[in-house]
Amino acid sequence: MEPTRSFAGGDLSAKQARNLISQLPGVGLKGSAIEVASIATLDASTAAVTAEITTAFQFWRQPENGWQVATVRIGPGLWEGLDLSVMGAKAQTETAPCRSVEGKPVSGNLDVRTARCLLERFLGFADSAPSSRAVRIKEISGFSLPLNSRPSALVEAIVPVDFRFSRAGKKSWQVAGVRTGNLPWTEPETMLNALNRDKTTRARLDLETLANALEKFRLARGHYVEGDSAAALVDFLSPDYLDRVIRVDPWFRPYVYQGSRDQFTLRSSGPDRKENTPDDIVLNHPQASGSR
């Protein structure tokens, strides 16, 4: 999928910067979640903008490592898994400085100090002065997902994000770079493409896992699961043939299943989240697997 570039004409204003940030490909932030803190003109064709983004993060508690940042909300109902950091760089996974005084993982309820510490390290603000915290925590609440047995928490926070704007033509601007803290600058399209490549790989692995479970089902029952519901499929396969629940793809859209006694099709709608488009990821059996 080729992301659509967004432009705004004239001198860059706070309103234009906010609109362009909200229109970044792969992101669905509302304008009300973006507060432009500063605009600096670097030269005739370049401007630097710092914006404060209000969003939410899901934290999971691991028995061996304590609390960890797991997902970020990138728009209404849109969550992004943080296998890669928001800026496309490897995450800051070492959490020792955020642990208790005894050096043990924090195992109780997630508090403001720990949440802020983990987010600042993850987003590249580890060297920020304690007197001027980069990340501001608004609220921490319990957060549960269906079939999620891990303790979790939802953290609403305000995060400063730097944007680099370049002028395209005489009157148009576009977002040319994004970063948080001391992480490297990343082009928005490069970041989106890297995330989608990673998600495509994970979706294919999920489809292969489901296909292998279907083969086990066929060997035991003499046929595949008949139906047109991926949710019902997982109910048939778990737990005897499938050791984990797989219902949604990495873009948080439900997987699609169509099956008869002797053949089946598994599908992810892919990066554009729309079925039967060229970026769908499809696995057919007994036909050869592949993506269109």
Beta-ladder partners of 76 = none
Describe the crossing of helices 188-221 and 230-237 by its angle, rounded to 10 degrees: 50
Question: Cα Rg for the chain, rounded, in angstroms?
Answer: 22
DSSP assignments along 41-62, one per residue? EEETTEEEEEEEEEEEEEEEEE
CA–CA separation, 117 and 119 (whole Å): 6
- The closest alpha carbon to 155, from 216, 214, 199, 113, belongs to 113
Distance of CA 240 to the CA centre of its chain: 30
pTM recorded for the entire structure: 0.74
Inter-residue contact 72 to 57 (CB < 8 Å): yes
DSSP assignments along the chain, one per residue? --PPP--EESS--HHHHHHHHHT-TT----GGGEEEEEEEEEETTEEEEEEEEEEEEEEEEETTTEEEEEEEEEETTEEEETTS-TTSSPP----GGGS-TTS----SS--HHHHHHHHHHHTT-TTS-TTS-SSEEEEEEE---TT--S-EEEEEEEEEEEEEEEEETTTEEEEEEEE-TTSPPB-HHHHHHHHHHHHHHHHHHHHHHHHHHHHHHHHHHSSPPPBS-HHHHHHHHTTTT-SS---B-TTS-B-EEEE-SS-EEEEE-TTTT-TTSTT-EEEEESSPPEE-
Q: For position 104, what pLDDT does the model report?
A: 53
Domains of the chain: 8-186 (no CATH), 193-291 (3.30.700.10)
Q: For position 285, what pLDDT does the model report?
A: 87
Q: Which residues contact 93 (CB under 8 A, 6 or more apart)?
A: 68
Q: For position 9, what pLDDT does the model report?
A: 54
User: What are the Cα distances from residue 11, in Å, to 79, 187, 188, 200?
Assistant: 33, 22, 21, 39
Q: Using 70 as the pLDDT threshold, list the residues of the chain that sit under it.
A: 1-10, 82-97, 99-108, 127-133, 143-150, 170-171, 287-292
Q: For position 36, what pLDDT does the model report?
A: 96
Q: For position 14, what pLDDT does the model report?
A: 93
